[in-house]
Structure 1
Amino acid sequence: MLVDPQDSLLLIVDVQQRLAPAVASHRAVEARIATLIRGARRLAIPVLASEQYPQGLGPTVPALAQLLAPAERIAKRAFSCAAEPGFLAALRESGRGQVVICGMEAHVCLLQTAIELVEAGFVVFAVADALGSRDPANREAALARMAGQGIEVVTGEMVLFEWLRRSDHEGFRDLLGLIK
């Protein structure tokens, strides 16, 4: 199954100021997420972002926060976004059935969110090069477990090109500029 630009939403999980520096390769992960946000914006793909207990872990890192509207951020205490009151309702209101998920940490909040979203009837795509954990072994274990749960493991470029579908898409040149 391909990521459908008419049916997908980008979900950024917990890329926060006090957590991000501890995540392996966090700068590369943040850069890939920024590219996904910019691509989503150019193609009118809805974007949501969660913040795990922002009073303790801080807000979303500045490089991503500047790309997000305040209304697109949801504070949470549950590890899984899907377990946070009101989150599933907000997601269903978007009318989208696919969720492209990225962020931190892969083996905790991303994993729990992805599994519970599948259980709630959503198709989930985990962007392998746009998610991280403090320990790379935890990230790899999370990706393997997600794949075993029916979650599609993709890369950021896969998502962008699947959103485009064609080289004559009006947004092709813009997104190609983001990728290069």
Structure 2
Amino acid sequence: MEVNMAALNDFSTFDLYSDDSLIFIIDEQEKLVPALLNGQAAVERTALLLQAAAELQIPVIKTEQYPKGLGETVEPIKSLCAKVDTACYEKLDFNAISNEIRTKLRLSGRQRILITGGEAHICVLQTVRALLKQGYFVFVAADAIASRHQFDYDIALKQMRDMGAVITTTETVIYDWLKQAGTPAFKHLVKLIK
């Protein structure tokens, strides 16, 4: 029996490459993170991704929702962003894709966008939807996003998966970027993961 290759899914949409990836950090801020279920855990996973970004030269876009009211980006994310190519934007819209960010994404040439931040069912969801509409391959690090309520988080993950985003984890992303053991990047990052 022959396999109809045209009928198979195009699994290339599930591949992550460090030279085609960009990390998009949404609203991990001083007054928001403490209100989120697993907010601190999401911050820790985002920090690990930023350390990988520094090692693998992956650019970052970071947003802050109304920083006057919700505060600045939390540490250690704020400090780690200073060590990588990071573009920072303030916003009021829940969908983080402003014209300025749309242009930044286009100019980056990166097609695989990894999402972290909060809240999963509001700003993350609306941003993921906008990115998918624009034709990007969107990956959501489930352990690096958070919501105030578990139910909202769970439904948001299902919605994003149904829309076409790849739901993944921080560790899966890092190993996918690395591709193999034995490299200097692997030797550095494996110490942070273990």
Equivalent residue, structure 1, for 2:4 = none
> Is 1:68 the counterpart of 2:81 in the alignment?
yes
- In 2, are the aligned partners of 1:13 and 1:49 still within 8 Å (CA)? yes
Are the equivalent residues in 2 in contact too, given 1:125–1:153 (CA < 8 A)? yes
Does 2:92 match 1:77?
yes
Identity %: 38
Specify the code of the residue in structure 2 equivalent to 1:33: T
C-alpha separation in 2, matches of 1:90 and 1:25? 30
Query: Corresponding residue for 1:13?
Result: 26
Change (3 A) 1:113 1:64: same
CA distance in 2, matches of 1:113, 1:160: 22
Q: CA deviation at 1:72?
A: 2.2
Query: 2-side partners of 1:157 and 1:63: how far apart?
Result: 18
Give the aligned partner of residue 132 of structure 1. Answer: 146
Q: TM-score with structure 1 length normalisation?
A: 0.96
Q: SS of the residue aligned with 2:19?
A: coil
Q: Which segments of 5 or more consecutive residues in structure 2 lack a partner in the other structure?
A: 1-13
Q: Secondary structure at the match of 1:18?
A: coil
How far apart, CA to CA, are the structure 1 residues paired with 2:67 and 2:78? 13
Q: Is the 8 A contact 2:49 2:170 kept in 1?
A: yes
Structure 1 unaligned segments of length 5 or more: list them.
Answer: none
Aligned pair count reads 179
Q: TM-score, normalised by structure 2?
A: 0.89
In 2, the alpha carbon distance for the partners of 1:26 and 1:111 equals: 16
Conserved 8 A contact 1:39-1:178: no
Give the Cα separation in 2 of the matches to 1:19 and 1:68.
18
Partner in structure 1 of residue 48 of structure 2? 35
State the alpha-carbon separation in 2 of the partners of residues 77 and 91 from structure 1.
Answer: 19
Whole-angstrom CA distance in 1 between matches of 2:99 and 2:148: 27
Match of 2:188 in 1: 174
- Give yes or no for contact 2:111–2:136 (8 Å, CA) kept in 1: yes
State the 1:60 CA deviation.
0.4
Tell me the SS of whatever aligns to 2:167: strand
Matched, 1:3 2:42: no
Matched, 1:149 2:166: no
Is 1:51 equivalent to 2:64 in the alignment?
Answer: yes
Aligned-partner Cα distance in 1 for 2:37–2:86: 29
The within-5 A match list for 1:118-129 is: 118-129=132-143
8 Å Cα contact 2:62-2:86 kept in structure 1 = no
Who wins on radius of gyration, i.e. which is larger?
A: 2
| Runs of at least 4 residues off by over 4 Å | none
Alpha-carbon deviations, 1:129-150, whole Å to 9, x = none? 1100010111111000000000
Are residues 1:92 and 2:106 paired?
A: yes
1:154 partner letter: T
What is the identity, as a one-letter code, of the residue corresponding to 2:61?
L
Aligned counterpart, 2:118: 104
Shift of the alpha carbon at 1:71? 5.4
Instruction: Tell me how far apart the structure 2 counterparts of residues 152 and 113 of structure 1 sit (CA, whole Å).
Output: 14
